[in-house]
Amino acid sequence: MNKPTRGSLLGIEHLETKEIQSLLSLARRMNPQKALPLLRGKRVVLLFYESSTRTRTSFEFAAKSLGAMTTLVQSSGSSIEKGESVIDTGYTLRAVGADCIVMRHPSAGVPHLMASHLDIPIINAGDGMHEHPSQALLDAVTILKHKRSLKGLQATIIGDIFHSRVARSACHLLTRFGVKMTLCGPPEFVPDVAATLVPGLRVTRHIEDALRGTDVIMLLRVQKERLAGQRIKLQDYIARYQMTAPRLKLAKRDAIVMHPGPIIRGLELTAEVADGPQSVIVDEVHNGVPTRMAILARALGKAK
Amino acid sequence: MLNAKSQKKENGSLLIKGGHLIDPAAKVNAPMDVLLRDGRVAEIAPPNKIRGAADEKFDARGLIVAPGFIDLHVHLREPGQSYKETIASGTAAAAAGGFTSVCTMPNTAPVVDTAEWVSWLRNPERGAVVNVFPIAAATRGSKGGTLTDFAAMQRAGAVAVTDDGKPILDDDVMRMALRLGAELNFPVVQHAEDTRMTENCSMHAGPTSFRLGLRAMPAAAEGEIVDRDVTLAQQIRESRLHVAHLSTSDALKSVRRGKRAKARVTCEVTPHHFALIDENVGEYNTNFKMNPPLRSATDLEAILVALADGTVDAIATDHAPHAVHEKQVEFERAAFGITGLETALALAITKLHREHRIPLTRVVELFTAGPARVFDLPHRGSLAKGDFADVTIFDPKKRWTFEAAKSRSLSHNTPFDGWQFTGKVAATIVDGKIVYQAE
């Protein structure tokens, strides 16, 4: 097993702080409309074993804005359907001429597996319940557009943290920069062990407690089938954890509401909150392209 | 076959000279010479006091001489999965690890659930270089439903029954297995895992599994089955329960309860469960994936206490070879299991004896008298006059580095590649003949 190729982005956890800082500042300088062709002639493969709208299209636009060629490989309609192993798919894409693979996979750790066998940068676009580093970076970019700095902020993540790669990456990134973080939800979604992820995490079952004095509220999608699997009644969940306008008033006056999408109106949040003045949900999607441009430029371009 | 056997009897004599004998069964821990003749121990005497003559001599100066090691739990993959291991390659690895007897698990393809398959495993044509004692399936196809013909398989040479790889989950089936086992004085070996709690899980539930985003097995999945089984063993007179690869603190509590109540309950622990914990999985290293999984540091502490105080009866490797293509895949899809025959003694000496100060006599007991008692292997696990001439000779101070690539096993799925150890096998003697000798 070899070390990942320089420029790979497998997760936030093991990324050096100064690398995160340089990615964030590069992301804030990137402009999809006026981009330099840093990746001209490069071939970027988008290897998606799982469905995606935001992440896939924004990586594709990011690569193309920088002058790269892209191709999409999905599990259906490729050799993956015929039983080709992940590593063999990687070798094949490398042989075809891929300079970088952006991959999403339903199983945790697969980008690490790929990176230990290939000599090209691997970008993790979400692996199982593990990490979603580009989402954490674009969320940090979004927060920094509304807040002067990360240090000293209070952030709360509400919802199904157990199943969420977004939550894990956000915890790693934000606590690194001095954000005080609270995780909120029922024990089935926020087990006590969640507090061990990084030092200083706080777990609470009460949304009022979680919201008081917070600067950043991050909501997560709640899947109805997971509620059913954990025998949680939908109405009970909504009653206890839905983000509503009255509850939003408990947070700081200038608190922002974030959500990695897709949002389910009427479940984890009301339409009033989603469309309200404190919501930056659309902003996050917008910041996805420049953030992913920065990630690709770091992986392949000269701007390192 | 008969011919081969009678020829085997006339295999001459071997004098093991100058060594230090540790035979926990006979409470011997002293310099002794050992004379083996015609497949049996002929004489044991203080240095230079052996009266009988020998055709061959083995110089054991500076070495520990012990009864041949017995491994209660190996997967040699035949019949059906010879791309992972064969009886020939697996027993060669066993010999290199100092084991003179191995008990093979029945989860092969097909499952060893008939007397015919038990005999097939014992056939000399398989090319075993150490003794092979088959453990047969407890239920047909190890499907957990209908009991197999225990008596016929026992007559064919099986030493116990199990559905290893899977648990015997159903209360009634387990009760019937223990009852039938009690009638035949036949141990039932349980792979204790409540699979209703472990579906799609690939490691132990704790901070590491949460960090890695992996679905994980709670310790209770083992504890609750062991608790039920010990209760059944207490209820069913003369039944014999053996808990395979015990890995949790809670399961140890149940075993202690059974032993205090004088139930015939025994258990084994693997080297990896006393040497590694869940954190060692690192960034999805599939050579650290096995079932039961590596547990918490607290579980490991409890296991060390139980190894020292006698609660644990045997160290067993759960040697589980897999091909590269079964391990170099998604962590969640990777096969469970690691090889272990060639690193067991080195881990026991390095970790148990040197690091945790467990006496060498106790370590040897866990490889010899302990396992021999668990499955009633007469005249094995001890070196009294008349016992089988199975001997393990090792250097408890030798420092060496294990290289997976040099393993005798067909598979190299070990987490211990490149580990530096203290304690190495010098020679392995089966039936009076040297089957392995270190360079």
For B228-238, the pLDDT digits (tens) are 999 999 999 99
Q: Distance (Å) from the C-alpha of residue B406 to the closest C-alpha of chain A?
A: 18
Percentage of chain B lying above the pLDDT 70 cut: 97
* Residue B5 pLDDT level (bands cut at 50, 70, 90): very low
Examine residue A8 and state whether it is found in any structural domain, yes or no: no
Comparing CB atoms, the residue among A85, A108, A193 nearest residue B214 is A108
Taking an 8 Å cut-off on Cβ atoms, the answer to whether A128 and B206 are in contact is no
Preferred mutation among B210, B328, B414 to probe A, highest tally of A CBs within 10 A: B210
Show which of B330, B348, B374 is a domain's final residue: B374
Residues B299 and B414 in one domain: no
Taking an 8 Å cut-off on Cβ atoms, the answer to whether B325 and A85 are in contact is yes
pTM for this model (two decimals): 0.95
Q: How far is CA B413 from CA A138, B271, B287, B320, B327, in A?
A: 39, 15, 6, 8, 8
More confident site: A71 or A77: A71
Structural domain span for residue B405: 2-65+388-437
* Residue A304 pLDDT level (bands cut at 50, 70, 90): very low
Q: How far is CA A271 from CA A177, A215, B63, in A?
A: 31, 20, 78
Residues A80 and A187 in one domain: no
Residues A93 and A183 in one domain: no
Percentage of chain A lying above the pLDDT 90 cut: 89
Examine residue B380 and state whether it is found in any structural domain, yes or no: no
Q: Distance (Å) from the C-alpha of residue B413 to the closest C-alpha of chain A?
A: 13
Nearest Cα neighbor of B334 from B269, B278, B413, B271 is B413
Taking an 8 Å cut-off on Cβ atoms, the answer to whether A13 and B328 are in contact is no
Residues A149 and A263 in one domain: yes
d(CA A297, CA A303): 6
Q: What mean pLDDT comes out for the span B280-294?
A: 98
Show which of B348, B374, B400 is a domain's final residue: B374
Could you read off the pLDDT of A172-193 as tens digits, one per residue?
A: 999 999 999 999 999 999 999 9
For residue A276, what is the domain's CATH number? Answer: 3.40.50.1370
More confident site: B329 or A76: B329
Per the listing, tokens 């706080």 go with A202
A-B contacts at Cβ under 8 angstroms: 64
d(CA A256, CA A253): 9
Average model confidence (pLDDT) across chain B: 96
With a cut of 70, say whether residue A171 has pLDDT above it: yes
d(CA B286, CA B282): 10
Check residue B10 and give its pLDDT.
Answer: 56
Q: Distance (Å) from the C-alpha of residue A129 to the closest C-alpha of chain B?
A: 4
Give chain A's end-to-end CA distance (angstroms, integer). 26
Q: What is the residue type of B49?
A: K
The encoded tokens of residue A26 equal 């590069």
d(CA B251, CA B243): 9
Number of neighbouring beta carbons within 10 Å of residue A7: 19
Q: How many domains does chain A have?
A: 2
Examine residue A58 and state whether it is found in any structural domain, yes or no: yes
Nearest Cα neighbor of B390 from B132, B36, B119, B20 is B36
* Residue A302 pLDDT level (bands cut at 50, 70, 90): low
Taking an 8 Å cut-off on Cβ atoms, the answer to whether A109 and B284 are in contact is yes
Number of neighbouring beta carbons within 10 Å of residue A51: 11
Examine residue A162 and state whether it is found in any structural domain, yes or no: yes
Residues B31 and B85 in one domain: no
Residues B303 and B399 in one domain: no
d(CA B161, CA B118): 11
Residues A74 and A210 in one domain: no
Examine residue B208 and state whether it is found in any structural domain, yes or no: yes
d(CA B75, CA B102): 9
Residues B321 and B424 in one domain: no
Residues A139 and A227 in one domain: yes
With a cut of 80, say whether residue A33 has pLDDT above it: yes
Q: How many domains does chain B have?
A: 2
Residues B368 and B433 in one domain: no
Residue B182 burial by CB count (10 A; 0-12/13-18/19+): exposed, middle or buried? Answer: middle
Q: Distance (Å) from the C-alpha of residue B320 to the closest C-alpha of chain A?
A: 21
Interface of A with B (CB under 8 A): 1, 13-14, 85-87, 105, 107-110, 112-113, 117, 127-131, 162, 165, 168, 191, 193-194, 196-197
Residues B37 and B82 in one domain: no
Comparing CB atoms, the residue among A1, A107, A193 nearest residue B331 is A107
With a cut of 90, say whether residue A223 has pLDDT above it: no
Structural domain span for residue A183: 134-284
Residues B330 and B261 in one domain: yes
With a cut of 60, say whether residue B1 has pLDDT above it: no
Residues A104 and A172 in one domain: no
User: Residue B314's beta-bridge partner residues?
Assistant: B268
Q: Which residue of B has its CA nearest to A109?
A: B284
The answer to whether the beta carbons of residues B68 and B390 sit under 8 Å apart is yes
Preferred mutation among A130, A161, A183 to probe B, highest tally of B CBs within 10 A: A130
Residue B381 at interface with chain A, using a CB cutoff of 8 Å: no
Preferred mutation among B202, B286, B330, B417 to probe A, highest tally of A CBs within 10 A: B330
Examine residue B382 and state whether it is found in any structural domain, yes or no: no
Taking an 8 Å cut-off on Cβ atoms, the answer to whether B332 and A107 are in contact is yes
Q: What mean pLDDT comes out for the span A111-122?
A: 97
Could you read off the pLDDT of B336-392 as tens digits, one per residue?
A: 999 999 999 999 999 999 999 999 999 999 999 999 999 999 999 999 999 999 999
**Chain B CB contacts of A14 below 8 Å:** 283
Tell me, yes or no, if B318 is annotated catalytic.
Answer: yes
With a cut of 90, say whether residue A224 has pLDDT above it: no
For residue B56, what is the domain's CATH number? Answer: 2.30.40.10
Q: What is the residue type of B253?
A: K
More confident site: A226 or A180: A180
Residues B258 and B402 in one domain: no
Check residue A267 and give its pLDDT.
Answer: 95
Catalytic residue among B23, B278, B318, B395: B318
For residue B361, what is the domain's CATH number? Answer: 3.20.20.140
Residues A146 and A96 in one domain: no
Could you read off the pLDDT of B159-200 as tens digits, one per residue?
A: 999 999 999 999 999 999 999 999 999 999 999 999 999 999
With a cut of 50, say whether residue A303 has pLDDT above it: no
Examine residue A82 and state whether it is found in any structural domain, yes or no: yes
3-state secondary structure A154-219: EEEEECCCCCCHHHHHHHHHHHHCCCEEEEECCCCCCCHHHHHCCCCCEEECCHHHHHCCCCEEEE
Q: How far is CA A213 from CA A195, A210, A254, A277, B69, in A?
A: 20, 8, 10, 18, 65
The half-sphere exposure of B2 on its side-chain side, counting CA atoms within 13 A, is: 0
Per the listing, tokens 């016929």 go with B152
Residues B202 and B295 in one domain: yes
Could you read off the pLDDT of A48-58 as tens digits, one per residue?
A: 999 899 999 99
Residues B370 and B395 in one domain: no
Comparing CB atoms, the residue among B206, B213, B328 nearest residue A193 is B206
**Chain A CB contacts of B281 below 8 Å:** none
* Residue B54 pLDDT level (bands cut at 50, 70, 90): very high
d(CA A142, CA A216): 11
Residues B272 and B413 in one domain: no
Q: Which residue of B has its CA nearest to A195?
A: B207
Q: Which residue of B has its CA nearest to A164?
A: B213
Comparing CB atoms, the residue among A85, A86, A109 nearest residue B212 is A109
The encoded tokens of residue A239 equal 């009653």
* Residue A35 pLDDT level (bands cut at 50, 70, 90): confident
Residue B206 at interface with chain A, using a CB cutoff of 8 Å: yes
Residues A258 and A292 in one domain: no
Preferred mutation among A75, A80, A110 to probe B, highest tally of B CBs within 10 A: A110
Residues A146 and A277 in one domain: yes
Residues A111 and A234 in one domain: no
Examine residue A9 and state whether it is found in any structural domain, yes or no: no
Residues A143 and A246 in one domain: yes
Could you read off the pLDDT of B19-36 as tens digits, one per residue?
A: 999 999 999 999 999 999
Examine residue B415 and state whether it is found in any structural domain, yes or no: yes
Check residue A227 and give its pLDDT.
Answer: 79
Examine residue B253 and state whether it is found in any structural domain, yes or no: yes
**Chain A CB contacts of B330 below 8 Å:** 86, 105, 107, 109-110, 113
Q: How far is CA B235 from CA A195, B189, B228, B242, in A?
A: 43, 17, 11, 15
Examine residue A4 and state whether it is found in any structural domain, yes or no: no
**Chain A CB contacts of B332 below 8 Å:** 107-109, 128
Q: Which residue of A has its CA nearest to B284?
A: A109
Check residue B275 and give its pLDDT.
Answer: 98
* Residue B212 pLDDT level (bands cut at 50, 70, 90): very high
Residues A196 and A278 in one domain: yes
Q: Which residue of A has its CA nearest to B205?
A: A193
Residues B58 and B117 in one domain: no
